[in-house]
Amino acid sequence: MGVNHATALSPPRRLRADAARNQQRIVAAARELFAEHGLEITLDDVAERAGVGVGTVYRRFANKKELIAEAFEQNMTEFVEAADAAQRHPDPWQGLVQFFEYACRHLATNRGFSDVMLELENDMERFAAIRDRLTPIVAAVINRARAAGTLAPDVQGTDFFALIHMVDGLAEFSRPVNPDAWQRYMAIALNGVRADSTPRQPLTVPPLTDDEVELAKTYACSGRRR
C-alpha cells in the first residue's frame, strides 16, 4: 500500500504550529507579568499565565534572561512600528504627540521595561539592528514637527529621551496612589516644547493632592529601605 505523503507530513506541521503558538503565548504572558510585577517573576509564573506546562517553557527558554530578551525584542519592534505610524501621521505635531504618548504610556504602565534594559545591558548588541531602525524614524518625527513650526526650534531628540524618562520617574513615584497622574505631566512636558503659536494640550488629569504626594513619598521611602 502506498504511503500518503501529505498524511505522513501533517503531524510534524501541526507540532511546529503548536510549538509556535506556545512560544507566542509564553512571550505574551511574560510581557504581561513583567509589566505588572517587574522582573521579580519566575518561569513557573509565566507557565501558569500562559496556560502551558512548566516543561514547555523550559524547552523554549533555557532561563529567565532568554525570555526577558525575547520580550524586550518584541517591545522594541513595537516601538519601531509606533514611530513609523507617527512619521506617517498627516499632522506633524500630532504625529510627535502620538509617539511621545506611546513611549510615556509604555514606560509608565510597564514596571519591568526599565529594569529589563539594566538586566540586558551587556547584551544590547543583540538589539542593535532594531535600534538602528528606530533612531532615524524618531529623528524624522521630531524634524517634521520642527519644520512645520509646531516644535520649538531648539528642542532636540535627546530632550525627548530625557522628558520620557522624567514622566516615567513621576509615574513610578505616583503609581501606588494615582496610576494615571503621569498623563498630566506628559501634557505639561509637551506644552513646554511646543512653538508659541501651537494650541496647548489640555490637562485632563487633575494634579496629585497633598495627601497623595505625602503617601507616595511614604511608598517611595519604604521601597528604598527594602
Looking at the structure, do residues 10 and 76 belong to the same domain, yes or no? no
Contact, 12 vs 89, CB < 8 A? no
Count of helices and strands (H, E) across the chain? 10, 0
- Decide which of 47, 62, 77 is a domain's last residue: 62
> Are 119 and 147 in the same domain?
yes
Q: Do residues 186 and 202 make contact, with C-beta atoms less than 8 angstroms apart?
A: no
What tens digit of pLDDT does each residue of 107-155 get? Answer: 888 876 766 766 666 666 777 888 889 999 999 999 999 999 999 999 9
- Residues paired with residue 194 on neighbouring β-strands, in sequence order: 151
Find which of 2-6, 104-108, 153-157, 183-187 is predicted with most confidence, using mean pLDDT.
183-187
For the domain that residue 191 is a member of, what is the CATH number? Answer: 1.10.357
Q: Is there a single domain that holds both residue 24 and residue 44?
A: yes
Neighbours of 45 (CB within 10 A): 17
Domain co-membership, 127 together with 221: yes
71 & 20 share domain: no
Kindly report the CATH number assigned to the domain that includes residue 43: 1.10.357.10
Residues near 103 by beta carbon (within 8 Å), at least 6 away in sequence: 79, 82, 164
Quote the CA–CA distance of 96 and 140 in Å, as a whole number: 10
Report how many domains make up the chain. 2
Are residues 183 and 117 located together in one domain of the fold? yes
Report yes or no: 100 and 82 within 8 Å, Cβ to Cβ.
Answer: no
58 lies in the same domain as 169: no
Measured from the Cβ of residue 203, the count of other Cβ atoms closer than 10 Å reads 13
Same domain for 33 and 134, yes or no, is no
d(CA 183, CA 207): 10
Q: What is the pLDDT of residue 123?
A: 67
What does the pLDDT look like over 167-195, one tens digit per residue?
998 998 998 899 899 999 999 999 999 99
On whether both 22 and 85 belong to a single domain, the answer is: no
Cβ–Cβ < 8 Å for 49, 25 = no
Range of the domain at 54: 1-62
From 20, 36, 62, the end of a domain falls on 62
